[in-house]
Structure 1
Amino acid sequence: MSASHERSTLAPSLYAYAKGLRDSAPDAPLPRQGLPLPEHARPPRVRAGGPGPQEARAVVTDLLLPFPALPDPERAAAEVERTLARAGVRERAVFAAVTAIPPSRESAARSRARALGRHLTRGGTTFGAVAAGLGLLSRLGEPEDVPYVRTLGLLEGLGQYATATLEPLDPASAALVWLVHRARGDALRGLVDALATGDEAAVRDLLPELPTAPRELGPAHARRVAEAVGLPELLRREPDHPGLLAQAVRLLNRMCSGRGYENEILEYDEAVALYETVGARAHELPPLLDHQALLVTLALELHSGAAHLLPWPPGRRRHVGGALLAAVEEPDTPPDREGRRRADWIRRTVRRLCEAAPVTPSAAPRLRIEVVVADPGDPDGVETRFLVDGRPLVPAAFGRGPGEPPERLLDDGALRAGPEPREVRLAEAYCTEGCCGALYVTVRREGPHVVWDGWRRPGTPPGLPALPAAYRFDAAAYDTEIARAERDRDWSWPARDTARLIATGLRERPGLLARWGLRQGWAGTAFGDPDTAVVTYADLPPTTGGRQDAPPRQYLWHLPEDGAPPERRAADALRRFAEEDPRGFPEPAG
């Protein structure tokens, strides 16, 4: 794009370099990290280092502000490239700084900035220049820019900036670029290569074979696959292709999963269309136990999960949920333990969903607390969900992880409104609070009301939705709902009941552990085996004057199900705590 005398180097533009690599081997598999970089992509000063992130953003902002106003965008692009190379700023700071500059409202200024962005992306020879161009086009780009940005996005290191630029222009191209740099596993890489070469027949045949187990395909990968293949349109175009409908159901389930750092289903622009298509065709699925469980999970997410928050037309959410449940047949009783557990979960969850009455907003918001157990075939665990006037609270206010388990919110009365305000953690990030945050609220009684306010999200990144305003619940209705939720054990099963009864006994008799120099931990069931109760405890920290060189040792006591009633098993366990040093029960962990 730039005249040779205007360039800081005679090296080819990064776009021309990337396009040349693809044109020379159009059917070759793409490398896992993208196409290799040319030597001139980063000037030596940038490779050796540069200013820190905050300083770099300020430097870039000051440097670049005058250039979009210049009348010759080609000359301005060449000067931007030389200026950024001298400044020694890495492309991350450049892209962040450019996208933070407020765009002009004046049409001519926007056109000049767009032209500058095009010259930088199409003619830039360094990462800094291309990143600046992508930053401008992320807000000013048009459909004609898509092929250039998509090609640049194939280069190692440019994927995240190209993805951000493409998302408002062409979600399918953005998803492809994202997958080029993030896809793992031979099956997914094969699908990415077919998408990159435009081989529609291969895409159609490879998609149903894509593994969708949690360890093989996360929620973000599932969304990007659905975007890249245009899943709703593909289902309409290929109604008789074997396996496509079942795979669409699996991908939709993965997007709804809580095992991710965002509500991916809410990031998927075609989520409503895909839900509608799946709901209309759910009856076509063979009545396999796996299919039945997937449909129930989708209905559950419509009722109280993030999928409830999608932009549904009036009445359509309940209609689709009803269609999903109508396609679920009474499951046979499988011969294996895992199958029986899953069939029982399907029956119990369908019953609870059918019994749930729609909520009509009233003058005082209505709180409903529901304990949700995930499909045992794909366990996300057990979480507490909060519906305020029927609307899920945690995915709307937090969205980075599930609600806390009921043992931490209901078993010890944490949500009861007493005379003193009490702060309660309602949800924790999927990766733990210390990594990506949590959601807290303060519960207090105020005359005839119970108030939830003082919302906090410590440790969360910027950009999340605004925190809720204060909720003022009718105190009598609130107390009734808390009591109902605390009594409700219909969601539970024997091993979980055993763990709960042991934990309750230890709380009521703290001396059982204290006499051995131990403190109580959490209790629940093993993630990989729901029929095994797990009770944890740890060494007490040293008293005043003592020294602790390492965290206290934690102990996990596993109690496999043996058919005895939970009450008897818990009593036996508490008796053993009273008579023997619990350090000898399990193998130490951590």
Structure 2
Amino acid sequence: MSAQDERTALTDRPSLYAYALSLIGTGPGDGPAAGAVSGGQGFPLPAEPPPPDGPRLRGKKGFAAVRAALGPLLTGPAPGADAEAHAAEAAAEIQRRLAELPMPAGPVAGAVLSLPLDEPAAARAVARRLVRTGTLSTPVCVGLALLRRLGEPEDIPVLRALTHLDGLLGLALKALEPLDPRTAALRWLDLRVRETAPLRPFVDALLSGGTRDPRTPLARLPVDTRTVGPSAARRIAEAVDLPGLLRRGPADPRLLARAARLLVRMASPRDYAAEVRAYRGAVELVEGVVRSAGTLPPGVDHAAALLSLAVDLHSGPTRLLPWRDGQVEQLLDALGALLRSPAWEGAFAGPGPGASPAVRRRAEWLRYTRDRVFPAAPPGGRLRVDVLSRDPDDDEPVETRVLVDGEPLVPAVFGRGAGNPPEYLLGEGRLRATEEPREVQLAEAWCSEGCCGALYVTVVREGDAVVWRDWRLPGRLPGGEPAPALPAYRFDAVAYDAEVARASADTGWSWPARTLARLVKQGLTARPELLGRWDCRLSHAVAPARAADRAEVWFVYRPGTFEGTDKQDGPWIQFRWELRDDGTPPAEQAAAALRRLVTEDPRGFAACAGGVQ
């Protein structure tokens, strides 16, 4: 196709904005009706011309090409020139240049998000022309990326319409969120919630517009971790204007409990970012929950929700919200006074006889966590190490939380996952300082280090100080901003050793099955021949969070292990050995398990879990 043919094809196509309006049945001045897309799916984009021939531009070369092609066109007109005509000409030229750029829309938009914009008003005018008149996805994505940075309320109708086109809706939602968070949140929920999901009735109730008060569908909403993830929790709060609901009406215990649970879910590390920090209403919502917490009927579930919220105010991402000076301490004092009051003591009492392991574990967690989050005398010193978790019923990890100068380190500089388990950092002595430098992984991304990275620091003793230096972490925070350049932290060696020793000696965070797993792992690590005689080698030992009465020992059988003739590329079988907590002391159970390996081949009683023959 000649250049003239390409220009004719582009001008003959309707704009993607006009195409979206024709599909959702609204006029240019209207926002699309909620739920206009059946099943919450975006409409497919029209077929587009093939990309230009030649190798695709990527990475730094791609960014440089986008900057060179678009940067000069995002400036204002010459003095006295018509600004609107200038924006139209610039937008047309951008479309032409992008049609010749061998680079997909996604990377182009990513590069635009980092472009320096010396004249924001001019760049905004060009962006508006692109999103309204762009006939191909790449120029429209450029406009959306610019409006994500520069959008204003008048852009809302266009952004709403473009959220209905598959291929544009992600960027359109990101641009719409700061301008119209409720519509963006509802659209996100409509797209992400499957037809059979437990959240579907709630989303449909909001979409239908049949009720102006979302309290009823919200009160029926399940807020368990399997149903509501961190991202969904934030969008639910935005879609119903949860702080406004608390502010406008009389205290409603059901609504208040839902609000506390949603805040806890937003702070979960089981996502690519801590959603609570992206939620603009978080400060007001936390204030509202704490202010009205006394209206909740005392009980285990409400105590667990409030205590989990306190855990995140104490050392989680919620502590990093833009609080006033001293406000976090005031909120924690208020929660501590409530949860330590006589009216709430029953929620922290031990379970009755015959209680299940899960109930016993939750009761122990309540008492232990209350004492750690609301200590009678807060510990001093520059370094603080606490082992904490949220409500065990939420299946959240037990994590080692490090605070330096009162700030939680992992969520502040990493934010992609929880601090590593206490068995790893404290039980195996990785935080102990010696004159030999040791690199320590403090946290790993919830998905995996290979996917989204990890946080490392080198720990070394230098005279009368312990130094944390030579940090390794991803270059950008989850929100896209550059990661901070971390200095070397120096701690008084005596105080450092005392704090690490104190945290290492405290095992009240564990439960019998987890202690059993830890003791069996220690025994097998110290005596590898117990498994080795059967040509087996320990993989790991864990206590599944959702099974409070069970430990699992995972090991690998590989022929020749005992004699040292095994081949890494040879056959192997993985096994899972389940150990049920029988109520006796974990040390006795661990000793019995190790004795069994002296005379019995574990392949005879463990379950096969895969392998290569």
Please tell me the residue identity of whatever aligns with 1:227: E
Contact kept in structure 2, 1:30 and 1:193, CA below 8 Å: no
Whether contact under 8 Å (2:542, 2:553) holds in the other structure is yes
Whether the aligned pair in 2 keeps the contact of 1:397 and 1:467 (CA below 8 Å) is no
1:246 aligns with 2:257: yes
Comparing 30-39 with 273-282, greater Cα deviation is found at 30-39
Q: Is the 8 A contact 1:18 1:155 kept in 2?
A: yes
1:586 partner amino acid? A
Q: Report whether the alignment pairs 1:449 with 2:465.
A: yes
Partner of residue 143 from structure 2, selected from 133, 142, 145:
133
TM-aligned CA distance change 1:448 to 1:58, over 3 Å: closer
Q: Amino acid of the residue matched to residue 522 of structure 1?
A: H
CA distance in 2, matches of 1:168, 1:256: 20
Tell me how far apart the structure 2 counterparts of residues 9 and 385 of structure 1 sit (CA, whole Å). 58
Residue 297 of structure 1 and its aligned partner are, at CA, apart by: 0.6
Greater shift, 518-527 or 80-89, is seen at 80-89
Alignment correspondent of 1:96: 110
Letter in 1 for 2:430: A
Q: Deviations over 1:69-107 (max 9, x none)?
A: 465222332343344335464321332233232101xxx
Distance 1:352 1:589 in 2: 39
2:39 paired with 1:37:
no
What does the per-residue CA deviation read over 1:201-254, in whole Å, with 9 as the maximum and x for residues that have no partner? 264432222222212111011112212322111221233557322211111110
> Aligned residue for 1:466?
484
Partner of 1:171: 181
Q: Is the 8 A contact 2:277 2:320 kept in 1?
A: yes
How far does the alpha carbon of each residue in 1:106-139 deviate from its partner, in whole angstroms, 9 at most, with x for none? xxx4333222211111222221221122122222
Alignment match, 1:22:
24
Superposed CA RMSD in Å reads: 3.0
Answer yes or no: is 1:148 the counterpart of 2:153.
no
**Quick one: which of 369, 383, 402 aligns to 1:386?**
402
Shift of 1:564: 1.5
Letter in 2 for 1:178: W
Alpha-carbon distance in structure 1 between the residues aligned to 2:42 and 2:212: 25
Alignment partners' CA distance in 2, 1:375 and 1:200:
33
Residues 471-493 of structure 1: CA distance to partner in whole angstroms, max 9, x if unpaired? 11111111222222222122222
Counterpart-to-counterpart distance in 2, 1:475 and 1:406: 21
Distance of 1:385 and 1:483 partners within structure 2: 15
Give the CA deviation at 1:177: 4.1
Cα deviation for residue 273 of structure 1 reads 1.0
Residue 579 of structure 1, CA deviation:
2.6
The farther-off stretch of 480-489 and 199-208 is 199-208
Are 1:112 and 2:114 matched, yes or no?
A: no
Query: 1:310 maps to which residue?
Result: 321
> Is 1:581 aligned with 2:601?
yes
Give, as a single letter, the amino acid of the residue that structure 2 aligns with 1:583.
R
Structure 2 counterpart of 1:51: 56
Question: Quick one: structure 1 residues 241 and 475, their matched pair in 2 at CA, closer, same or farther if it must change by over 3 Å?
Answer: closer
Q: For structure 1, which runs of at least 5 residues remain unmatched after alignment?
A: none
Distance 1:541 1:61 in 2: 58
* SS in structure 1 of the partner of residue 362 of structure 2: helix
Contact 1:8 1:81 in 2 (8 A): no
Please state whether the residue corresponding to 1:553 is helix, strand or coil.
strand
Match 2:273 to one of 245, 248, 262: 262
1:209 maps to a residue whose letter is: R
Q: Tell me how far 1:193 sits from its aligned partner.
A: 5.1
SS at match of 1:355: coil
CA distance in 1, matches of 2:100, 2:435: 64
Aligned pair partner of 2:227 in 216, 240, 258: 216
Picking from 137, 153, 170, the partner of 1:160 is 170
Residue equivalent to 1:529: 547
Distance 1:46 1:244, change over 3 A: farther
1:364-443 equivalent positions in 2, closer than 5 A: 366-443=382-459
Report how far residue 458 of structure 1 moved. 6.2
CA distance 1:550–1:191, shift in 2 (3 Å)? farther
Asked if structure 1 preserves the Cα contact closer than 8 Å seen for 2:56 and 2:103, the reply is yes
Check the 8 A contact 1:223/1:251 in 2, yes or no.
yes
Instruction: State whether structure 2 residue 74 is matched by structure 1 residue 63.
Output: no
1:122 maps to 2:116? no
Instruction: Give the secondary-structure state (helix, strand or coil) at the position aligned to 1:133.
Output: helix
Distance 2:116 2:452 in 1: 28
| Percent of residue pairs identical | 48
Q: Which moved more, 1:572-581 or 1:546-555?
A: 546-555
Deviates further, 331-340 or 518-527: 331-340
Shift in Å at residue 285 of structure 1? 1.9
Aligned equivalents of 2:566, 2:586: Cα separation in 1: 40
State the partner residue of 1:520: 538
State how far apart, in whole Å, the 1-side matches of 2:265 and 2:247 are: 21
| Secondary structure in structure 1 of the residue aligned to 2:509 | coil
- 1:48–1:394: structure 2 CA closer, same or farther, 3 Å change rule? same
Query: Measured at CA, do residues 564 and 47 of structure 1 come closer, stay the same or move farther in structure 2, by a change above 3 Å?
Result: farther
CA distance 1:516–1:388, shift in 2 (3 Å): same
Call closer, same or farther: CA 1:7–1:238 in 2, change over 3 Å: farther
Contact 1:154–1:180 (CA under 8 A) maintained in structure 2:
no
Quick check: 185-194 or 91-100, which moved more? 185-194
2:367 counterpart letter in structure 1: R
AA aligned to 2:554 is: T
> Take 1:183 and 1:50, find their aligned partners in 2: how far apart are those partners?
38
Equivalent residues of 2:42, 2:163 under 8 A apart = no
User: Which aligned pairs between 1:463-542 and structure 2 lie closer than 5 A?
Assistant: 463=481, 465-539=483-557
Query: Is the Cα–Cα contact under 8 Å of residues 442 and 452 in structure 1 kept in the other structure?
Result: yes
Structure 1 pair 562/416, CA: closer, same or farther in 2 (3 Å)? same
Give matches, 1:202-213, under 5 Å. Answer: 203-213=214-224
| Deviation larger for 92-101 or 557-566 | 92-101
Matched residues in 2 for 1:189 and 1:561: separation? 39
Cα distance per residue 1:527-553 (max 9 Å; x no partner): 321221222333469789864337853
The alignment partner of 1:19 has SS state of: helix
Q: Residue 84 of structure 1 corresponds to which residue in structure 2?
A: 98
Q: Tell me the SS of whatever aligns to 1:535.
A: strand
What displacement does 1:192 show? 4.3
- Amino acid of the residue matched to residue 21 of structure 1? L
Cα distance between partner residues in 2 of 1:83 and 1:192? 41
- Indicate how the Cα distance of structure 1 residues 110 and 481 shifts in structure 2: closer, same or farther if over 3 A, else same: closer
Give the unaligned 5+ runs of structure 2. Answer: 1-6, 27-31, 78-82
Contact 1:541–1:548 (CA under 8 A) maintained in structure 2: no
Task: Measure the CA separation in 2 of the matches of 1:240 and 1:22.
Answer: 40
The equivalent of 2:4 in structure 1 is: none
Report if the CA contact (8 A) 1:536-1:556 is conserved. yes
Name which of 589, 592, 598 aligns with 1:572: 592
Matched, 1:553 2:573: yes
Letter of the 1:67 counterpart: L
